[in-house]
């Protein structure tokens, strides 16, 4: 398999995230940047959506999950999203950056970056 990547960048979703009482009462934005290994050669030849990783379906599934979730830590949310990608979409390897913009005064962003699976 080639080292092709399918990317979703800057996917923003509002959810309940945080450990403080005030955070449990509001919805905040989290931002995802995702790299997923996927062999796109067949889709590159056929021009058929069934032959590739449907990034719209991936995005829709993650949005629905995140909007309905309520986690304390972005680490747990990132792990849960990674599990969805690996198990439900059979993505072999992912790099997922989960950001929480404005979480720390004076910073633009805080984030975790995880890699899961096996890059073939």
The H-assigned helical ranges of the chain are 41-46, 55-68, 74-88
Domain count, the chain: 1
CATH number for the domain harbouring residue 28:
3.30.1130.10
Host domain of residue 113: 5-117
CA distance 42 to 33: 25
**CA 13 from chain center: how many Å?**
10
The pTM of the full predicted model, rounded to 2 decimals, is 0.93
Which of the two residues, 93 and 118, has the higher pLDDT score?
93
The reply to whether 42 belongs to the active site is no
How far is residue 72's CA from residue 17's CA, in Å, rounded to a whole number? Answer: 5
Q: What is the chain's mean pLDDT, rounded?
A: 95
Angstrom distance (rounded) from CA 86 to CA 67? 20
- Which residue among the candidates 60, 97, 100, 119 is catalytic per the annotation? 100
Indicate the pLDDT class of residue 2, thresholds 50, 70 and 90: low
Nearest Cα neighbor of 51 from 3, 6, 10 is 6
Distance CA 90, CA 103 (A): 32
Cα–Cα distance for residue pair 42/102, rounded to 1 Å: 41
State pLDDT tens for residues 17-33: 999 999 999 999 999 99
């Amino acid at each position: 398999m080639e080292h092709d990547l399918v990317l979703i960048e800057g996917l923003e979703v509002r959810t309940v995230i945080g450990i403080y009482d005030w955070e449990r009462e509001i919805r905040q934005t989290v931002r995802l940047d995702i790299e997923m290994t996927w062999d796109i050669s067949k889709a590159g030849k056929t021009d058929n959506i069934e032959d590739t990783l449907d990034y719209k379906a991936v995005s829709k599934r993650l949005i629905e999950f995140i909007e309905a979730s309520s986690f304390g830590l972005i680490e747990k949310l990132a792990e849960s999203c990674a599990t969805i990608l690996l198990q439900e979409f059979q993505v072999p390897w992912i790099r997922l950056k989960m950001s929480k913009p404005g979480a720390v005064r004076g910073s633009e962003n805080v984030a975790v970056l995880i890699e899961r699976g096996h890059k073939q």
